[in-house]
Chains A and B, each alone.
Chain A
Amino acid sequence: MKKLIATLLLSMATCLCVAQNAKLPANVELKALDGSMVSSSTLQNGDKPFIISFWATWCHPCNRELNTIKDVYEEWQEETGVKVIAISIDDARSANRVKPHVDGHDWPYEVYIDENQAFKRAMNVINVPHTFIVNAQGEIVWQHTGYAPGDEEEVIEKVREIMGK
């Protein structure tokens, strides 16, 4: 019995050691702006990390965040090669307004619609905005809920950190 418990304790310790970052959910269907469906497994940025930002057309802080990042996006991309993927959680009420919203505000991001919020649930997002950083291996390495002015600085700092800059 003692041996058994010792073995179990050891295996528990091993379990703690292998604690690691979760992978991006692979099988969630997202709607591209041309109406076609893509799988969440296709979200990537080559050998560079990327940012996933959950937002909605009706959400003020989300719009503030994505409009702010837009102003510095070119610099971010030049420096780090990072990419922003904006996931709209607008449902059938406003999903058809997502493309006009994105184009009207001239957002340079890759945008998908998570119309029934399957991706939002799989990513454990409670409220928008919610921002993730995913590394080149497809692992979620950082996340943040809400947006206050200046939070974008923390996002790019984390990206630099991940890239070892």
Chain B
Amino acid sequence: MKNNNFRKTVWAGLLVFSFYFSPAMSQAQGVLGGHVTGNMQLDMQMSREDSTIGAPDVPEQMLMNARADILYTNGAFDAGLRFEAYTNPLLGFDKNYRGQGIANYFVSYHNDRISFTAGYFYEQFGNGMILRTYEDRNIGYDNALFGFNVHYQLMPGIMLKGVIGKQRYCWTLGNGIVRGVDAEVQLNSLIPAWADKELRVTLGGGVVSRYEPDTTIFSSPGYKLNLPLNVGAFSTRMDLAYRNWNLNVEYARKGQDPSFLNNYIYRYGQALTVNASYATRGFSVNLQAKRVDNMVFKSERAATDANGAKLYINYIPAINKEHTYAFLSMYPYSTQAQGEMGLQGDIIWRLPKDGFLGGTDIHLNSSVITALDMKVVGGMGTEGYTSDFFGTGDLYYGDASLEVTRKINSQLKLTALYGYQVVNPEIDGHSGALHHNNVVVGDLLWKINKKNALRFEAEWMGSDSRYTQEVDDKRCGDWIMGLVEYNFTSRWFVSVSDQYAYHDGTGNYYNISLGYTHNATRIQLGYGKQREGMICIGGVCRQMPALNGLTLTLSTSF
């Protein structure tokens, strides 16, 4: 009897506990003096086989990615929990996500000087050249560290960070243990006499090391490679700001790290980025240069990128501008952390109000990325290659674009863009010679009244890819596109678009979407065809297959 009562009490307790923590109740909840917030997203896809565009057969008929984050905050204490379900994963997402469960949880504490997180966490040292863990749900990338993370403000102006843990890959953890420390010094906060100086100086440096038990790799029959169990990397950085000028420099170096992706060579890795800018009200110039040499740094030496990026400890993003208009992003450049050199320039200019075409925004951008100048000196188990620091190799990618935005009157706003690209098809696994694309975009926004607006977008791309590239790349050819989007009552939108490869006529990709947004909740239904291609966000790309069917997205934040 006593036992029975005890059980009842436990159940009642659990009931109340779950009720207290139930996120379904409302917006942020006052819970035991703290708050619960969160977000949820469901993505559903129904696609049928379509050989004309290469859409695969989907035996499940319906695919779904779902995710909910719940955060609890109480004063200095935070905790979080994330549930993910891929039943089964959407087309293009790593199949190893198949399944459902608690994908991320943590507790953390902070006061003015120190904070720590235990569990899954995301951290970045400097520009991320030796360490960055992050997640991007749109491409299904999450390399969170599972372990311990500490931030300690030693004194005003000096911040120390430390990490230790293993990295997440889908539902498992990588083999390697990742450890790292980073220090950042802000001279203007540290030295009282510098507090009001116009020159702002921030210096930083970090060290990251990976331990992975030995594995057996033969360079040739009978010759087992002597693999380093610990691989270290360090970086130093400097950030200067003076009036309108900014300079950011970071240099990183990595020890011998024979891995699957560098074909088990013993060459050191290094990377340098330099970023300089001048910015004043209405005008700015930005220049970036980078050189990356053998900087793939993963927590498992045998990890491939066959199903998409996996277990990267560091982050080496592409240097070119991230274009978002459909045709300019049809051939996105994916960064070659193995080795590349790049330059990028950007000018933004708002013409003075009273002059010619006053108030017009002009945006010029150009980038060039090439291979390193490499001299092969051996294969597996050797230095691999040597390379002249300032030498360049084959062209990987080049582009230039001019974007002009002008408010015609209080109701009409026009954006016109011209872009030119040179693309090396080998970058995303295709073959053929360099091809050249010309892209023109017109984007007109008509604000009918306070709550209704129409947007028209027209794009054209002329490309010589159909002469230079393999034929099975569905992107080859010349394209036109039209889009009409109608936003009404400020909550609804409907859009209709069509992309058409008018030279070979095989690609006709129409889409209709309908969406409703109220506060932080959004529901969107789409029907149509999606072109196969690459989606790149930052330094990570994912090959997306074509699809023909229905997509439904529901998301909310609270």
Residues of chain A from 18 to 37 with CB closer than 8 A to chain B in the complex: 18-23, 25-27, 29, 33-37
Chain A, Cβ-Cβ closest to B335: A93
In the complex, which residues of chain B have a beta carbon less than 8 angstroms from the beta carbon of A150? 447, 449-453, 487, 490
**Cross-chain contact B9 with A4 (CB below 8 angstroms):** yes
Residue from A4, A11, A140, A149 with most neighbouring chain B CB atoms (10 Å): A149
A165 CB–B CB distance under 8 Å:
no
Q: Do A16 and B25 have beta carbons less than 8 Å apart? A: yes
Chain B, residue nearest A141 (CB): B27
- Please name all residues of chain A whose beta carbon is closer than 8 Å to the beta carbon of B38 when the two chains form the complex: 124
| Residues 74 to 129 of chain B near chain A (Cβ within 8 Å) | 76, 78, 110, 115, 122-124, 127-129
Contact of B324 among A27, A60, A144 (CB under 8 A): A60
Q: Which of A4, A19, A35, A99 has the most CB of B within 10 A?
A: A35
Task: Say yes or no for B189: interface residue by CB 8 A criterion.
Answer: yes
Q: Say if the beta carbon of B283 comes within 8 Å of chain A.
A: yes
Alpha-carbon gap, A150 to B291, bound state (A) = 44
**Chain B residues numbered 338-353 whose CB sits less than 8 Å from any CB in chain A:** 346-350
Whether the pair B277, A92 counts as a contact (CB closer than 8 A) is no
Q: Give the distance in Å from the alpha carbon of A97 to the alpha carbon of B418 in the complex.
A: 21
B:418-470 near A, CB below 8 Å: 445, 447, 449-453
Find out whether the CB atom of B19 lies under 8 angstroms from the CB atom of A116.
no
Contact of B555 (CB < 8 Å), options: A91, A145, A149: A145
Q: With the chains together, A26 CA to B112 CA distance in Å?
A: 10
B167 interface hit (Cβ, 8 Å): no
Q: With the chains together, A64 CA to B284 CA distance in Å?
A: 19
Chain A, range 85-133, C-beta contacts under 8 Å to B: 91-97, 99-106, 115-118, 121-127, 130
Asked whether B127 lies within 8 Å of A92 as measured between CB atoms, the reply is yes
B408 lies within 8 A of chain A by Cβ:
no
Tell me the B7-31 residues at the A interface (CB within 8 Å): 8-9, 12-13, 15-16, 19-20, 25-31
Q: Is the CB of B124 within 8 A of A116?
A: yes
Residues of A contacting B347 in the complex (Cβ-Cβ under 8 angstroms): 104
Pick from B30, B31, B202: contact of A35, CB under 8 Å: B202
Q: Quick one: which of A8, A11, A104 contacts B348, CB cutoff 8 A?
A: A104
Distance of A158 from chain B, by nearest CB (Å): 10
B279 A99 Cβ-Cβ under 8 A:
yes
B12 touches A4 (CB 8 A): yes
Chain B residues positioned under 8 Å from A154 (CB to CB): 490
Stretch among B175-183, B225-233, B516-524 lining the A interface:
B516-524
Q: A47-97: which residues lie under 8 A (CB-CB) from chain B?
A: 58-60, 64, 91-97
The answer to whether A126 touches B324 (Cβ under 8 A) is: no
Query: Which residues between 519 and 548 of chain B lie within 8 Å of chain A, taking CB atoms?
Result: 519-522, 538-539
Name the contact of A12 in the complex, choosing from B8, B19, B35, B363 (C-beta under 8 A): B19
> How far does the alpha carbon of A12 sit from the alpha carbon of B32 in the complex, in Å?
11
Contact across chains for A37 and B317 when beta carbons are under 8 A apart: no
Residues 168-210 of B, flagged 1 when their CB comes within 8 A of A and 0 if not, give 0000000000000000101011000000000010100000000
Q: Are A19 and B493 in contact (CB under 8 A)?
A: no
Minimum distance in angstroms from A125 CB to a CB of chain B: 7
Residues from chain A with a CB closer than 8 A to the CB of B558 are 124
Closest chain B CB from A165 CB (angstroms): 18
B360 to chain A, nearest CB (A): 12
Offer 27 A-B interface pairs, CB within 8 angstroms, sorted by A: A1-B8, A1-B9, A5-B12, A8-B16, A12-B16, A20-B28, A22-B73, A23-B35, A25-B73, A26-B110, A35-B200, A35-B248, A96-B275, A96-B288, A100-B346, A103-B348, A104-B284, A105-B361, A116-B124, A117-B134, A118-B122, A124-B38, A143-B519, A145-B555, A145-B557, A150-B449, A150-B453
Given contacts A58-B321, A92-B538, A124-B69, 15 further A-B contacts (CB under 8 A): A1-B8, A4-B12, A21-B27, A22-B35, A35-B202, A36-B186, A36-B202, A37-B159, A100-B279, A103-B284, A104-B282, A104-B349, A116-B122, A149-B445, A150-B490
Interface residues of A (CB under 8 A from B): 1, 4-5, 8, 11-12, 15-16, 18-23, 25-27, 29, 33-37, 58-60, 64, 91-97, 99-106, 115-118, 121-127, 130, 140, 142-146, 148-151, 153-154
Interfacial residues, chain B to chain A (CB-CB below 8 A) = 5, 8-9, 12-13, 15-16, 19-20, 25-31, 35, 37-39, 41, 69, 71, 73, 76, 78, 110, 115, 122-124, 127-129, 132, 134, 137, 151, 159, 184, 186, 188-189, 200, 202, 239-241, 244, 246, 248, 275, 277-286, 288, 315, 317-319, 321-324, 346-350, 361, 363, 445, 447, 449-453, 487, 490, 493, 517, 519-522, 538-539, 555, 557-558
